[in-house]
Amino acid sequence: MNLPNKLTFLRILLIPVFLALVLPVGNNSLLVPVSPETGRIIAAFVFVAAALTDMFDGAIARKKGCVTVLGKFLDPIADKLLVVSALIAFIQLGEVSALAVIIIITREFIVQGIRILAAKDAVVIPAGFLGKVKTFTQMVAIVLILIKNYPFSLFTSLSIGQYLLWVSVILTVISGYQYVKENITRIKE
């Protein structure tokens, strides 16, 4: 297993760590011995570290010429697991709209379904530019929600993380439509 694939697996392994730092397990306490506020800050660092593995795994794979089918397949799944886990945790905490998360998850199921259909023909469909922008926007929104919109909270009461999440929902719909349109022949086969 090459370094980029190891980084992708690391991203997946960081998800339970992230969740242990965010989700209370009773009496508003976490699985780890820190306050919920401290847990959120540490979780933000864990999330950013996990998100950075996404940037590095692709860059290393392309630079060293070690792009693999496993990497092309697993990388977007790892991204979705990270983002969706965080968003579902936020639903449990009452911090994001379930509707936003349902739209995001629906798009991901549709895209993964098309990827599975393409895989039967040994075709791996990489993420498009708009899909990457969508994922980046979701990740920034998640971090801002985690850290209670800091530093924006110093000068505005607007929930920048929430607004950015809704921007990502719009990008989710547009990129999902674009993905289906570009791969409609795979669905019709």
Instruction: Give the mean pLDDT of 56-77.
Output: 81
Pick the CATH number of 3-188 from 3.90.180.10, 1.20.120.1760, 3.40.50.300, 3.40.50.1100: 1.20.120.1760
What CA–CA distance (Å, rounded) separates 172 from 135? Answer: 8
70 pLDDT band, cuts 50/70/90, is confident
Phi, psi at 122, each rounded to 5°:
60, 30
Instruction: Give the mean pLDDT of 157-172.
Output: 95
The pLDDT of residue 54 is 84
Across the chain, mean pLDDT equals 89
Phi, psi at 176, each rounded to 5°:
-65, -45
DSSP3 helix / strand / coil % (the chain, rounded to 5): 75, 0, 25
